[in-house]
Structure 1
Amino acid sequence: MWYVSTRGMAPRVDFEGALFSGYAPDGGLYMPEKLPQLDRDTLRQWSVASYPSLVKELCSLFIGPELIPRDDLNDLIDRAFSRFRHKEVVHLSRLRNGLNVLELWHGVTYAFKDLSLCCAAQFLQYFLEKRKKHITVVVGTSGDTGSAAIESVQGAENVDIIVLLPKGRCTKIQELQMTTVLRENVHVFGVEGNSDELDEPIKAVFADVAFVKEHSLMSLNSINWSRVLVQMAHHFFAYFRCAPTLDLHPLPPVEVVVPSGGAGSLAAGFIAQKMGLPIHLVVAVNSNDIIHRTVQRGDFSLSEAVKPTLASAMDIQVPYNMERIFWLLSGSDSQVTRALMEQFERTRGVSLPKELHSKPSPLLSGSRLCSQVPGGRAGCRADPGDSRGDPRPGAQGGALYPDAEG
């Protein structure tokens, strides 16, 4: 399996190269050169699998056995999930009227990021031990990524981690999770500004390929393909637990609501769709609603400022994983994707071409949820035309699960 940059100006790499790179040298994000297509028989076989087993099956499609043999891959994933509090690792709670909640919070830091980061850390250490190398991980966080990343690598001899958090903009619990870890390989810094602003110098650092190579730097934000890969399992697990049967033709669709900030799980769901999983995605955001505006109107532009809300980990204006979705919508056209993203980086806003904006509508819709209202209380609302909790016609119930930075 080879990986290419969404902007098409960087050499292709294997999984190990994508894992250690984060951003591609041309500023793009790595994506599989070709997505595997899953037939009905494969989906039927996977439908009875546990969550860890689904992660193993998905990872085996995207990580060649020449890099990590299957037995080693299985061991790494088992080790990654060994400290989760729930025996299933991920659990689906059934509510009323076909609504279900996918519980992704049973990891050590109580954030869904534990699921992908604990796997990414195992992959990292596997290659580092094999190559006798040391790496420094640089992470910018609006809350949960930082604590989950620290937990996944703290105490590792071949990894140092530097975490930048926006002072006063994380929850107290998340801040304490990051600042109270007394390990020599953990370095946490509070910075002025919001999470989008602290991402800018990080991206500038990774654009300096020589500097990154000299200091062995990498990122574990959801720009990293390994994060998106594991998060695809959330969608498969939700589908198999919600779909009433796999004997219908066509397979019954399931609606999945994804609260999102950085759009990592959204991109994972979109990739799962492209592989043949019949889900309909509804992205839910707070008042930092760039993804909602992009889906509804093709308006991929920044607001004047990040608006603080009670969902602080979702207070993001630059959903970097939308670049992966644009690349998929354009038919893997790196020239179109590069032009869009470079214009966005120059002008802080771009209107999607009509032919691109019209494509997600059958697969993706937007909703504004959990906006902070005057008085400091959390309010929920759905804009006209959005999902209001009822599954779309033909959809079999639905699953909602928490997402934040990615």
Structure 2
Amino acid sequence: MWYVSTRGMAPRVNFEGALFSGYAPDGGLYMPEELPLLDRETLHRWSTLSYPGLVKELCALFIGSELIPRDDLDGLIDRAFSRFRHREVVPLSRLKNGLNVLELWHGVTYAFKDLSLSCTAQFLQYFLHRREKHVTIVVGTSGDTGSAAIQSVQGAKNMDIIVLLPKGHCSKIQELQMTTVLTDNVHVFGVEGNSDELDEPIKAVFADVPFVRKHNLMSLNSINWCRVLVQMAHHFFAYFRCAASLDSHVLPPVEVVVPTGAGGNLAAGCIAQKMGLPIHLVVVVNCNDIIHRTVQQGDFSLSEAVKPTLASAMDIQVPYNMERIFWLLSDSNSQVTRTLMEQFERTQRLHLSKELHGKCPQVLPGPCFGSQVPRSSPGRWTDS
């Protein structure tokens, strides 16, 4: 399995190369060069697996046994989930009227990002131990990424982590989760501005390729492909738990409601769709609604300012994983994606072409938090 930049101007890399990267050298994000298509037999076989079992199968598809042999991979994933409080790791709660809630908060920091970051940290340790290397991880956070990343790597001798925390823009508990860790390899800095603004210097650092290589820098934000890879399991697991039956001629669809900020879990759902999982995605945002405007009107443009809300991790105006989604919707056309994103970075305004916007309805727009979400599908679930 090879990985290419969404902007098409960087050399392709294997999983290890994508794992140890931030942005690709051309400013894009890494994506698999080809997505495997899953047949009905594979979906039937996967339908009885536990959540950790699904993570193992998905990771085996995208990593390859030449990099991590299957026995080693299974052991790393079991170790990653050993600190979760629920025996199923990710349970599904069934509510009224066909509404189901996937509980993704049973990790150490109560954030859903504990799931993907715990696995990512295990993969990093595996390769670093074999290569006898040290890396410095740079993370910008709007709330939950920073604390989950810290918990996943604190105490590791071959990793240092630098977290940029936007002052006054995280919840108190998240701020304390980051600033009270006294482990030597954890470095937390409070910065002025919001999470979108602190992403700008991080991207500038990763654009300096010689500097990145000299200091072995990488990122654990959802620009990192491994984050998206593990999050794909959320969608597969919930589908198998919610679908009425997999024995019908046409597999039944399930509606998936995804609250989102930077769009990593949304990108994971779009990739699962491309692989053959019959889900309909509904993206839910708060008043920082750039993704909603993009899907509704094709308007991928910044508002005047980020509006603080109680859901601080969703207070994002630059959902960088939309670049991955544009790449998918344009049939992996890196030239189209590069043109779009360079225009957005230059002008902070972008209107999608009619052709590209016409493909967006496969990701349905949802209303802001606090509004009623229409309950139209008996098998639907919400990612919480």
Fold match, TM over 0.5? Answer: yes
Structure-1 residue corresponding to 2:124: 124
SS in 2 for 1:286: coil
Matches within 5 A, 1:33-112: 33-112=33-112
Contact 2:97/2:378 (CA < 8 Å) preserved in 1?
no
Aligned residues: 384
SS in 1 for 2:160: strand
Structure-2 residue corresponding to 1:30: 30
Structure-2 residue corresponding to 1:301: 301
Encode CA deviations 1:161-206: one digit per residue, 9 max, x unaligned: 0000100110000000000001000000000000000000000000
Structure-1 residue corresponding to 2:190: 190
Matched, 1:397 2:379: yes
* 1:381 shift after superposition: 2.3
Structure-1 residue corresponding to 2:208: 208
* 1:369 shift after superposition: 2.1
Of the three residues 344, 365, 381, the one matched with 2:371 is 381
Matches within 5 A, 1:346-361: 346-361=346-361
Structure-1 residue corresponding to 2:229: 229
| Cα distance in 1 between the residues matched to 2:374 and 2:107 | 27
Structure-2 residue corresponding to 1:365: 364
**2:375 partner letter:** D
**1:365 partner letter:** L
Contact 1:80/1:119 (CA < 8 Å) preserved in 2?
yes
* 1:244 shift after superposition: 0.8
| Cα distance in 2 between the residues matched to 1:231 and 1:344 | 27
| Cα distance in 1 between the residues matched to 2:168 and 2:263 | 23
| Cα distance in 1 between the residues matched to 2:26 and 2:312 | 30
The root-mean-square deviation of aligned C-alpha atoms, in Å, is 0.7
Contact 2:23/2:29 (CA < 8 Å) preserved in 1?
yes
TM-score by length of 2: 0.99
**2:380 partner letter:** G
* 1:397 shift after superposition: 2.1
| Cα distance in 1 between the residues matched to 2:28 and 2:312 | 26
Contact 1:120/1:226 (CA < 8 Å) preserved in 2?
yes
Contact 1:3/1:33 (CA < 8 Å) preserved in 2?
yes
Contact 1:39/1:276 (CA < 8 Å) preserved in 2?
yes
Encode CA deviations 1:196-228: one digit per residue, 9 max, x unaligned: 000000000000000000011000000000000
Encode CA deviations 1:61-112: one digit per residue, 9 max, x unaligned: 0001110000000000000000000000001000000000000000000000
Contact 2:99/2:378 (CA < 8 Å) preserved in 1?
no
Matches within 5 A, 1:205-354: 205-354=205-354
Runs (5+) with no aligned partner, structure 1: 371-379, 383-387
**2:11 partner letter:** P
* 1:367 shift after superposition: 1.6
Contact 1:252/1:396 (CA < 8 Å) preserved in 2?
no
Runs (5+) with no aligned partner, structure 2: none
| Cα distance in 1 between the residues matched to 2:360 and 2:237 | 23
SS in 1 for 2:287: coil
SS in 2 for 1:68: coil
* 1:396 shift after superposition: 3.9
**2:149 partner letter:** A
SS in 2 for 1:301: coil
SS in 1 for 2:165: strand
**2:383 partner letter:** Y
**1:389 partner letter:** P
| Cα distance in 2 between the residues matched to 1:60 and 1:367 | 33
* 1:389 shift after superposition: 2.7
| Cα distance in 2 between the residues matched to 1:389 and 1:249 | 27
* 1:360 shift after superposition: 2.0
Structure-2 residue corresponding to 1:375: none
* 1:22 shift after superposition: 2.0
Stretches (4+) displaced over 4 A: none
| Cα distance in 2 between the residues matched to 1:223 and 1:128 | 20
* 1:250 shift after superposition: 1.1
Identical residues among aligned pairs (%): 79
Encode CA deviations 1:288-315: one digit per residue, 9 max, x unaligned: 0000000000000000000001111100
**1:229 partner letter:** L
* 1:20 shift after superposition: 0.4
TM-score by length of 1: 0.94
Contact 1:260/1:284 (CA < 8 Å) preserved in 2?
yes
